[in-house]
Structure 1
Amino acid sequence: MLHFSRDFSFENTAAHQNMMDDAFASISEEYKSGEVGYYNLPHDSHALLDEVQELIQGNILLNSGQIKDIAVIGIGGSSLGIKAVNSLMLSKNLNTRRLHFFENSDPIDISRTMAKLRKENTLFIVISKSGSTIETTSIFKTIISYFDLELESVDSQRVIVITDKGSSLSLFAKHYGVKQFNISDNVGGRFSVLSAVGIVPLTLAGYDTKTLLDSAEGFLTRFFNHEEDHILEKACHFYEHSPMQSINVLFAYANDLENLCKWYVQLWGESLGKINTQEKNVGLTPIGLIGSIDQHSFLQLLIEGPKDKTVTFVSIEDFENDLSIPDVTLKHIEKTNFVNSNSFNTLINAQCDATRESLIQSGVSVDSIVFQRICEGNIGTMIIYYELLTSLVGAMLHVNTYDQPGVELGKDILYKKFGK
C-alpha cells in the first residue's frame, strides 16, 4: 500500500477544475484510442509471463539451473526501470538470479562488469527499442568478443533480444535463431518498464512480476474511475506553479530508492522538457535526492535558496529490519544519547519528518508518498502513478509527452563525428 498526502494548499476553483477535466479527458482519449500504449501494459503484459515460463522450459541453460547471472545490455528506458525494481527487491529475494547492467560507454565499468561474469552461468539480454542504440550495440559487440559467444551454435540460447518488431536487432535475432520479445510501436522507452523491457528480465530473475502488473492495473483502473483524483490535483499544482517553481525534487529516504529516483528523472525530464504547441520552451526540471545523506549537501539550498522548487518526499514506513542503535555512551559525545535504543527505521523516518517540516516552515511546497513496505505490488503502483502524473502534466503543458526530438539531435551529431 502507498499513502499519498500533500502539505501544499490547493483550492479547487472552477479554473482548476476545468484544467483537471481537460487533462483527464486528454489522457482518457489516449487510453481509449490506443494511441499511447503504456496504459495497456499492466493488462497486456500478463501474456508475457506464460511466454517467459515457456522460454525457461524450452531453454536448456535456463531449465537446468545453469544460469545464475543475467546481463542486461541497454541504456536509459531500456535499463532504468529494471534497475529501480531490482534495487528495491534484491535484499528481499536473495535466491534470485542476479541482474548486472551494461548501460554506459565507460570502458572501466564495462571491463569491471564483464570480469564479474562467467560465460557458462550468464544469460545476456540485449534491449534496444530502435535496435541501433550506439551504446548498446557497441557493448554487445564487446561482450560477443570477450566471452567468445558462438551465436551460430549453442550460444544462441545464451542471448535474448528485446526490441521493436522489424528493427535491425530483430533481424539479427531472426538470423541467428535468438529468442526475441517485441515492444509495441506505441510504447516509448521511458514508459516501457511494464512491457517486455522490464517484465522479461525481472521475471527471469525471479521477481513476482504478476503482482507488479496486478497492482499497476488496479491503480490505473481506480484512476480512470475517478477514485485517485489526488493525482489530478498534484498535476494541476505543478502546472500552475511551474513558471515560478520549475524544479521538482524527489527526496527519497532509503538508499535502495536511488535508482527509482533516476528512473523518475528520465521520465519527467525527457517527457516534459519540450517546445509546446504555443512555441514556448516549457518543462519541469527533475532532481533526485537521497535522505538522510542529502540533508548534509542540498538541504541548505532548499531552505534558504531560491523558492523555485517543489519537493516530494518518498519514505518507507516499515523497512522490515530491526537494526537498532546500541545503548552506548561515548565520552564527549553524550548529547547524541537521545537516540540510543531506537531502531534505524525510526531514526531515518524521524529525519524525513523533521526535514519535511523544516521545508514547510520555510515556505517550500511539499507533498509525500509513503511505502507501507517495499514489495512488488507497491512498486507497481508507484510506477503507474508517476507515468500517469507525467502524462497529466504534459497535457497541461500542451506538449507531446512521448517524443524526444532534443535527444535525436545529439545522436545525429555523434554519427557525424564518426563520419557516418
Structure 2
Amino acid sequence: MLRFVNHFSTKNIDPFTIEKGYEALRFEAQSGEVGYYDLPRASQPLVGEVEALRPAIDKKYNTIAVIGIGGSSLGIKAIERLLRPGTPNAKKIVYLENSDPISVSQVISQIDKPRTLFIVISKSGSTVETLSIFKRVIVAFDLKVEHSDQVMVISDEGSVLAQYADENGLRRFVIPSNVGGRFSVLSAVGIVPLTLAGFDTLEVLKGAEAFLERFWERKEDHLLQKAAYYVTNAQRFPMNVLFAYSDTFEEFGKWMVQLWGESLGKRNRRGERVGLTPIALIGSVDQHSFLQLIVQGPLNKTVTFMHIAESEESLMIPQLSLRYLEKSDFVNGHSFNELINAQCMATMKSVIESDVSVDDIEWKKIDEHSVGGMIIYYELLTSASGALLEINTYDQPGVELGKQILEGYFRE
C-alpha cells in the first residue's frame, strides 16, 4: 500500500493545467502511440509463458547475467533491489552494463559459466556497450551461441540483434515498438529476467494495473497536481530531489533519474530549452552531505521524501549505555526502523520549515503490489510533466547526437 501527501499548496495552480495533463495522458494511451500504458495488463500472459520455462532453467542455472544498459538494466535492478529482501531464494542476477574495462573484467571473473544464463537486452538492437560486452562474453567463455539455450535475447522486432538471434536459433522476446526503453521495465525487458530469477512479477504487474485504473478513475489526482506544480514552477524550482529513506531505494533512484532526465530535458515546441533536473538521495546517509544545501542553499529545489512504515527487519538498538557516549541513549530500546523513519520525519519537517516545497510517499511495506504501483506512478508523473512542458517525452535526440559523434571517432 502506498500513501501520497503533497505538502505544497496547489491553490495557485490553474485547474485547466491539471485537466490538460490528464487529457494528454488519456490521448496518449487511447492512441496506441505510447505503449507503456498497456503493459501492466498486456505483460501478464508473458509471465505464464516465462514461468513455463523455469523448470528447465532452474535445473541448469543458478545465476542470470543481464547484458544491457540504461532502460535495459536500471528498471530490473530497481525491482530486484526492492524485492530481494523478501525473496531471498531468487537466483543471483549480475549486470554487465558499462563499457568500463575494470567493471567488465570483474563481473566476468565472478561468473560461473556452466551455471549462468545470459540475457542480452537492447531495444534498438545496436547498443554499442551491450554488443561489445556480448562479444567479450562469447570470447571469455568460449560460448557456443548457435542454438544455445544459455543465451536469450530481448529486443525490438526486426532489430539487428533480433535478426542475429533468429539466425542463431536463440530464444527471443519482443519489446513492443511503441514502448521506449526507459519505460520498458514492465515489458519483456524486466518480466523475463525477474520471472526466471524467481520474483513474483505477476503481482508487480497487478500492482501497476491497480494504480493505473485508479488514475484513470481520477482517484490519484495528487499525481496530476504534482506534475502541474512542477511545471508551473519550473523556473523557480528546476531541480527535483528524491530523498528516499532506505538503502533498498538506491537502484530505484537511479532508474528514476534516467526516466526523468532523459524524458524531460528537451527543447519544447518553440525551440526553448526546458527540463527538470532529477537528484536521487538516500536517507539518512545524505543528511550528512546534501541536506545542508537543501535547507540553507538556494530555494530552487522541490523534495520528495520516501520511507517505509513497516520494515521486514525488526532489528533493535540495544539497551546499552556506554560511558561518554550517553548522548545517543535516547534511542535505546527502539528499532532501527523507528529511528530511520523518525529521521525522515524530522528532516522533512526541517525542510518544510525552510520554505522548501515538499511531498511525501509512504510505503506501508515493500511488496510486489507496491513496487508495481510505484513504477507506474513515476512513469505517469513523467508523462504528465512532459505533456505540460510541451515536449516529446519519448525521444532522446541529445543522446543520438553523441552516438553519431562516437561512431565518427572510430571510423576516422
TM-score, structure 1 as length reference: 0.97
Deviations 1:118-154 (A, max 9, x none): 111000000000111000000000001111111235x
Preserved contact between residue 4 and residue 362 of structure 2 (Cα < 8 Å): yes
In percent, how many aligned pairs have the same letter? Answer: 54
Distance 2:111 2:160 in 1: 27
Distance 2:48 2:371 in 1: 21
Distance 2:297 2:61 in 1: 51
**Aligned counterpart, 1:51:** 49
CA displacement at 1:56 relative to structure 2 = 3.3
* Runs of 5+ consecutive residues of structure 1 not aligned to the other structure: none
**Aligned counterpart, 2:67:** 73
Distance 1:305 1:49 in 2: 47
Distance 1:135 1:82 in 2: 17
The alignment partner of 2:330 has SS state of helix
Residue identity opposite 1:363 in structure 2? D
**Aligned counterpart, 2:36:** 38
Alignment pair present for 1:280 and 2:278: no
Distance 1:222 1:410 in 2: 40
The alignment partner of 2:411 has SS state of coil
Alignment pair present for 1:244 and 2:244: no
The alignment partner of 1:4 has SS state of strand
**Aligned counterpart, 1:332:** 324
**Aligned counterpart, 1:28:** 26
**Aligned counterpart, 1:114:** 108
Distance 2:199 2:261 in 1: 28
Distance 1:401 1:217 in 2: 22
Distance 1:140 1:68 in 2: 20
Deviations 1:253-311 (A, max 9, x none): 00010000000000000000000002110000000000000000000000110000000
Preserved contact between residue 6 and residue 222 of structure 2 (Cα < 8 Å): no
The alignment partner of 1:90 has SS state of helix
**Aligned counterpart, 2:192:** 200
Residue identity opposite 2:4 in structure 1? F
* Runs of 5+ consecutive residues of structure 2 not aligned to the other structure: none
**Aligned counterpart, 2:7:** 7
CA displacement at 1:54 relative to structure 2 = 3.2
Distance 2:2 2:234 in 1: 26
Distance 1:322 1:29 in 2: 46
Q: CA RMSD in A?
A: 1.0
CA displacement at 1:78 relative to structure 2 = 0.3
Distance 2:381 2:175 in 1: 23
Alignment pair present for 1:314 and 2:299: no
Distance 1:379 1:104 in 2: 26
* Counterpart pick for 2:245 among 253, 256, 265: 253
Runs of 4+ with >2 A deviation: 53-57
**Aligned counterpart, 1:379:** 371
CA displacement at 1:405 relative to structure 2 = 0.2
Distance 1:244 1:8 in 2: 14
Distance 1:23 1:161 in 2: 36
The alignment partner of 1:234 has SS state of helix
Residue identity opposite 1:11 in structure 2? K
The alignment partner of 1:313 has SS state of strand
Residue identity opposite 1:204 in structure 2? L
TM-score, structure 2 as length reference: 0.98
**Aligned counterpart, 2:218:** 226
Distance 1:55 1:30 in 2: 34
Aligned residues: 412
Deviations 1:79-132 (A, max 9, x none): 000000001111211111111101101111111111211111000000000111
The alignment partner of 2:149 has SS state of helix
**Aligned counterpart, 1:17:** 15
CA displacement at 1:345 relative to structure 2 = 0.3
CA displacement at 1:12 relative to structure 2 = 6.2
